[in-house]
Amino acid sequence: MKSIIDKAFLIVLLLAFLTSLYLIFNWVPQIKASNSAEQIAQKIFYFHVPSAWLGFLACFIVFVASVVYLWTRKRQFELIAVASAEIGILFITLVLITGPIWAKPVWGIWWTWDARLTSSLILWLIYVAFLMLRRYLPDGSKRANLTAVVGIIGFIDVPIVYYSIRWWETQHPKAVIASSDGSLAAPMFFTFMFTLATFTLLYVYLMKKRYQLLKLEDTLNKQFKEMEIL
């Protein structure tokens, strides 16, 4: 029964991604831009921004799970934080790669040290540090406490990344979704929201799978340790 639900979820996810691709490449109209390169590169936006959203969501879950872990000391929250941090790193990495790929044909450069790009890179480094701590420190409450603290402090960078385009003059485009002038046309907005929902479903799927594996790994490690003692 469980595997049927898993398979159904995966099929829904695949269909949602195929629909997203159809909407992006066949349905949504081209933007009015000064050159065709900018028009074509704009299609990257539909996957770049949801990837950033997933990165933020994953960091938020790391933050919440870390707070709850420090509060309750329950191992499951440590594992939730780790699973979410891994997924967060994946999507922040995708943001950091797809951003420059968009920037090259539009700005003419791959990278610039502006506030949005730099703070995003720092966010990626914080969560890499989170996983490095977990990987290299010996298993125990000290490791769990330290990673939880990094998970909480690291989240401070998320609002900095989000508001950087408002707080500082940056080369990065201004917000078009949450802006007061609502400059995104209806078909673009619909396509964007659909892709955002698809990415959120993907997060739920990956998170569930990764958490189950971490839990199983944890149980096996405990069993092997008990066997060694016996």
Partner 1 sequence: MDAYIYLFFAYSIIWLGIFGFMWYMNKKANHLEQEMTLLKELIDAKSGGSVDV
**CA nearest neighbour of 146 among 124, 167, 131:** 131
Report the greatest alpha carbon distance in the chain.
73
Alpha-carbon distance of 224 to 228, in angstroms, equals 6
State the number of binding residues for partner 1 (CB under 8 A).
35
Nearer to partner 1, 45 or 155 (CB): 45
Candidate residues 90, 121, 176, 185; the one interacting with partner 1 per rule CB under 8 A: 90
Using the contact rule CB under 8 A, the part of the chain among 73-81, 148-156, 173-181, 218-226 near partner 1 is 218-226
Q: How far is the CB of 38 from partner 1 (least distance, A)?
A: 8
> Is residue 20 a contact partner of residue 195, using CB atoms and an 8 Å limit?
yes
Alpha-carbon distance of 82 to 66, in angstroms, equals 9
Q: How far is the CB of 101 from partner 1 (least distance, A)?
A: 4
Candidate residues 31, 64, 68, 94; the one interacting with partner 1 per rule CB under 8 A: 94
Q: Would you mind telling me the total number of residues written for the chain in this entry?
A: 230
Candidate residues 44, 125, 133, 196; the one interacting with partner 1 per rule CB under 8 A: 44
Exposed/middle/buried for 161, CB within 10 Å: 0-12, 13-18, 19+?
buried
- Residue spans of beta strands (DSSP E) within 82-227: none
Nearer to partner 1, 179 or 223 (CB): 223
Instruction: Write out the residues near partner 1 by the rule CB under 8 A.
Output: 36-41, 43-44, 47-48, 51, 86-87, 90-91, 93-94, 97-98, 101-102, 104-105, 202, 206, 209-210, 213, 216-217, 220, 223-224, 227, 230
